[in-house]
Amino acid sequence: MHRDALPAHEDPAPYRALLRPAGARHIDVIDQRALPHALVRAKIADPDAAALAIRRMWIRGAPLIGAVGAYGLALALDRDPSDAALAKAHAALDATRPTAVNLRWALDRVRARVAPLSPSARADAAWAEADAIAAEDAAFNRAIGEHGLALLRGIAQRRPGPVRVMTHCNAGALATCGWGTATAPLFLAHADGLALSVWVSETRPRLQGANLTAWELAQRGIPHTLFADSAAGLLMQRGDVDLVIVGADRVARNGDVCNKIGTYDKALAARDNNVPFYAAVPSPTIDWNTADGAAIPIEARDSDEVLTVAGRDDYGQTVRVAIAPHGTKAVNYAFDVTPARLITGLVTERGITRASRDWLAAMFPERA
């Protein structure tokens, strides 16, 4: 996907999270660990680097993880297109992150495309399929943005002033191959001249809201305010929030939504304060093989992410400091599950639907 030849539905942001230069057998990604203090691009030219980028969270976000996994499989087949190598690379990439279903979906899609082919034809077919996955994600992002924009316009028609939207974690262009999911309606609304005021949840412990979402909104000039995660309920109780929209890492067949830890808390507060709560969900994030949220594996990460924090000091140096007494134990679950009953609706590329098995099946009958 050469930048100059990108389809019109793709977001022309200068910080595209994933690029494949024309004809290249590698991809370029943003190393998101450096944000918001520096914009650093990294070249991924072998499957081991792709796996490392996913595992170490150079890149993150369910759709982007899926696309990078697909390209990682193509890189592996460049090395060795045999059946054994295909199986080994698929397993290695699939093991990098357990919760986001897009990774397994993308790997399975590439494998299904290349497995019937002769070994000599597999690598080229894998690159083409990975390109198709990335382009499809960008198109889904744009469609989600259009459907979500209708929600924002409806609020603007009902009350004066900017539309006040709360986000959680980062479901922006940095997490996808295009406009983002939960942010796509915001980006389109801003481009359309709709006044916005975005509440950005910091998203402890990795601070994806503070480091990434705030940075993306600033790049576009969208008014936003950062808040501590624990203030979400108060903001809704005060009547300062018109709508909450989040992304998703996996959606079960019954409509339960697994997303970044802290999403469930916001859904509870939204329900108690009559604030609409939506999840932006491209269809590859729906796991039709998982009946409900209780069956979704929840990733537990290193406790050091909770016990320390990184930032930039007065001298421009990035430093990591401890914030708890030495020897303190910490738990670090990366995701939680919001029950379908707390969700006003799911914003998909085909439209907005209720979070339920029957409504999802009606929206995607070929997948149900």
Gyration radius of the chain over CA positions:
20
- Which distant-in-sequence residues (6+ apart) come within 8 Å of 177 by Cβ? 10, 17, 18, 63, 64, 67, 134, 135, 137, 138, 141
**Residues 122-179: pLDDT tens digits?**
999 999 999 999 999 999 999 999 999 999 999 999 999 999 999 999 999 999 999 9
- pLDDT for 10: 59
Spell out the CATH class of 3-137.
mainly alpha
Among this protein's residues, is 249 annotated catalytic?
yes
For tokens 């639907």, the residue is 353
What is the C-alpha to C-alpha distance for residues 241 and 275, in angstroms, rounded to an integer? Answer: 7
What is the C-alpha to C-alpha distance for residues 196 and 225, in angstroms, rounded to an integer? Answer: 11
Q: Which residues of 171-199 are buried (b: 16+ CB within 10 A; e: fewer)?
A: bbbbbbbbbbbbbbbbbbbbeeebebbbb
- pLDDT for 11: 63
What is the C-alpha to C-alpha distance for residues 284 and 61, in angstroms, rounded to an integer? Answer: 13
- pLDDT for 2: 31
Q: Which residues make beta-bridge pairs with 280?
A: 347
Question: With contact defined as beta carbons under 8 Å apart, do 258 and 337 qualify?
Answer: yes
**Residues 358-368: pLDDT tens digits?**
999 999 999 87
If we measure between CA atoms, which residue out of 46, 61, 44 comes closest to residue 216?
A: 61
Crossing angle of the two packed helices 62-79 and 47-55, in degrees rounded to 10? 160
11, 78, 137, 249: the active-site residue: 249
Q: Which CATH architecture has domain 144-363?
A: 3-Layer(aba) Sandwich (3.40)
Question: With contact defined as beta carbons under 8 Å apart, do 187 and 10 qualify?
Answer: no
For tokens 């269809």, the residue is 283
- Mean pLDDT per 10-residue segment, the chain (368 residues): 42 81 94 94 96 95 97 97 97 94 97 97 98 96 97 95 97 95 96 96 96 96 97 98 98 98 98 98 97 96 93 86 95 97 98 97 91
Amino acid letter, residue 345: G
Amino acid letter, residue 236: M
Q: Where are the domains of the chain?
A: 3-137, 144-363
**23 by DSSP, 3-state: which?**
coil
Amino acid letter, residue 92: A
Give φ, ψ of 42 to 5 degrees.
Answer: -125, 145
